[in-house]
Every structure is written in structure tokens, then in C-alpha cells.
Amino acid sequence: MSEKTLAGKAYDQLFTQVFARTDPEWIHHKAFAAIRAARPLTQRVVGTAAAEAGSPVEAMGIRFPHVLGLAAGFDKNAVGIDALAGLGFGHVEIGTVTGEPQPGNPQPRLFRLTEDRAIVNRMGFNNDGAEAVAQRLAARAASGKASDVVLGVNIGKTKVVEEDDAIADYEKSTRLLAPHADYLVVNVSSPNTPGLRDLQAVEKLQPLLEAVRVKADEVTADRDKRVPLLVKIAPDLSDEDVLAVADMAIAIGLDGIIATNTTISRDGLKSDAAKVTEIGAGGLSGRPLTQRSLEVMRMLRARVGDDLTLIGVGGITTPEDAAARLEAGADLLQGYTAFIYEGPLWPRRIVRGLAGR
């Protein structure tokens, strides 16, 4: 029996016997604390093995150690970037960070659908706010102990900010956070902030992205090269709207698109319908997104050619899933829900699995 199989079986049993019977948000905080505490060991053993197995990727003028990164949502406040890198992620995207601190939606707001290997969340961008996160990132850089992991910063709209003031809110986050980012992501696709997805309409999205681009250039003028800017879109966009976003991204010189965020759809789930109804609203992530996220990736690559960096996320669980997303046109990959279900050795398994192909 291989090390992979032993480790996988051990984590599956731990998940079934402990994690699945525990409040998801509580166990997230406890598990994340354990990951941070274990950083010295994991960085030497797990992260090193993943880095050695992976092949470097050049994208957006950045050298990524390999294709796989951690999607936004796990480390909202930039408290464990280097510990997560120590598990083998080649890039870590923090956030979503908003201009102002906010507690997010009332609990409970995080739910598992274990039969579907999926998660429903309506966290509502709970985070410490751009000022606090910027201070944390500055302290990390000054410590001399930061890893060389590629750092993405994902920014979103503060809930209490009206749509008419959204640009100013994003500009504030950009001013504070762009100086610390290897790349910057504008999130307009979470279903848990009222009105946010309305900003995906091209007539609203273009001026927002253009304003963020100008502000990012302004606050990073001392760099040799500009900070790459991407937008993260929802799988629930129509095909026509996906293509419209792709055209707009090319037109304004965006660096990339992340596809896709969570879905509000509940179609085709294996989980008990009554349980799904009881959980209620929120973004669904995990296995059920695999097919739609793959379709969106194919559409985007066919539309933009080689002009944009595309990051594939949504329902990537196995090396075969990862390979399919790359074959569909992704330059880089991200995961989150599979990391929860598969455990801390999952990044290494994906990277080594891709290398084996």
C-alpha cells in the first residue's frame, strides 16, 4: 500500500469521524491554526516535495513554481500565507478583502454536502478590512521570514457601500493592498454580498476595472513592472456574458480571468433535497462545479487566444480533473473545497499526479 493511499485513508477516516461531525466554521479555524503551527515541518517535507515535483510556469510576467494554488476564501486575512505555501501550494490568494472591516453574515453560514463533496457558504466577505490586512502584509515582508510563494490579493465590495460608491471602495482596497501583491483580483462574483454580481455586467465592470488599474499603477509606480490585474467571474453567467467579459478584458488590457467562483445553482445534487433546502442560500463549491467550470474555461480560451492568463478553479479534485482544466486552456489552477475534503497532502498529490502524466 502506497504512502498516498495510507495518508488518504487516514485523513478520510479523520474527516468522517471528527470533521464531518463538527461545525464547519469552527473546525476551519482550528485546522488553520494547526497548519500554521506545523509550518516548520510541512515546509521542509511536504512543500519541498511538491515544489520538486512541479514544473515552473511563466504567467503574467511572474514565475510560478508550479500550476496549483490555493483559491481565495481560505485565508481571508493574510494570517497563514507561508504555512499554506508549506503544504505545497505554488501560489496563495488571500481574501476576499473589503475596503472596510466587516463581520460577515450571521452564523451558521458554512455547510457541508458530503455526498456531493461540496460546500455551501454564505460567509459574506467576513474580514479585517484592507487597512488591517495591509499592515499584516507589510509586517510579513519586513520580518525576513516570508516564503517566496506567489501572493495574490482578492478584493471585493464592502456590504454597506452602495453600488454608486463601489468604485471608490475598490480603489481604497487597491491603494492599500496592491503594493503588497504579486497579482490583484477584482471579485464581482460572490453571491453573498447584495448587488455584487450586478457589477459583472460589462457596462459596470469595465469602469470599475479601469479605475482599479489606474489606482494600482499609481501606488506601485516604483516597481519595475506593473501589478497584474484579473477579474473573477461566476459560473452562472450566460455563455453570451462570459464571452462579453472576455472581449472586454482584451479591450482594456486586463491580465487575466479566474473562472469560476461559486454557483447559486443546486441542480443535479446527490444530497437530500430537504437538507439542501434547509441550508438555504449561499454559494456552492466543489465537485458539482466541475463540468460548468470546464465549459467556461473552454469558451474563454477559444475567445481570448493566448492574450490572457486564465486560472481554472471549481470542482478540481483529482489529477485527471487538473489535467482536463489545463487541456481546456487554463494556465494555472486553484483549489479550495477539495483541499478541505482531501486533506493537507492534496496539493502534493495534484502536483505529483500532473508531473506523472
The pLDDT profile of the chain, 357 residues, written as one tens digit per residue, is 334 557 678 888 888 888 888 999 999 999 999 999 999 888 777 667 666 678 999 999 999 999 999 999 999 999 999 999 999 999 999 999 999 999 999 999 999 999 999 999 999 999 999 999 999 999 999 999 999 999 999 999 999 999 999 999 999 999 999 999 999 999 999 998 988 999 999 999 999 999 999 999 999 999 999 999 999 999 999 999 999 999 999 999 999 999 999 999 999 999 999 999 999 999 999 999 999 999 999 999 999 999 999 999 999 999 999 999 999 999 999 999 999 999 999 999 999 999 987
What is the rounded radius of gyration, in angstroms, for the C-alpha atoms of the chain? Answer: 19
pLDDT for the residue numbered 49: 66
Q: Which sign does the torsion angle of CA 102, 105, 107, 109 carry?
A: negative
- Determine contact, residues 20/114, Cβ cutoff 8 Å: yes
- Residue 297 labeled ligand binder: no
Residue 51's pLDDT is 67
Which of these is catalytic: 190, 238, 265, 285? Answer: 190
Helix (H, G, I), strand (E, B) or coil at 335: strand
DSSP 226: P
Find out whether 335 is annotated in a ligand binding site: no
> Which pLDDT belongs to residue 43?
74
Question: What is the pLDDT, as a whole number, of residue 14?
Answer: 86
DSSP letters, 109-124, are: -EEEEGGGTEEEE---
Half-sphere exposure of 335 (CA within 13 A, CB side): 34
Q: Report, at the CATH architecture level, how domain 3-356 is classified.
A: Alpha-Beta Barrel (3.20)
Q: Residue 213 in contact with residue 167, Cβ under 8 Å?
A: no
Determine whether the annotation assigns residue 77 to a binding site: no
215 has binding-site annotation: no
- For the whole prediction, is pTM greater than 0.85? yes
126 is an annotated ligand-binding site residue: no
- 105 belongs to an annotated ligand binding site: no
232 is annotated as contributing to ligand binding: yes
pLDDT at position 7, please?
A: 67
Using CB atoms within 10 A of its CB, is residue 139 exposed (0-12), middle (13-18) or buried (19+)? Answer: exposed
Residue 238 annotated among the catalytic residues of the structure = no
Amino acid 345: pLDDT: 93
In sequence order, what are the residues at sequence separation of 6 or more whose Cβ sits closer than 8 angstroms to the Cβ of residue 106?
none
Quick one: pLDDT at residue 4? 52
80 is in an annotated binding site: no
Residue-level pLDDT at 1:
32
Query: 309: annotated binding-site residue?
Result: no
Domain locations in the chain? Answer: 3-356
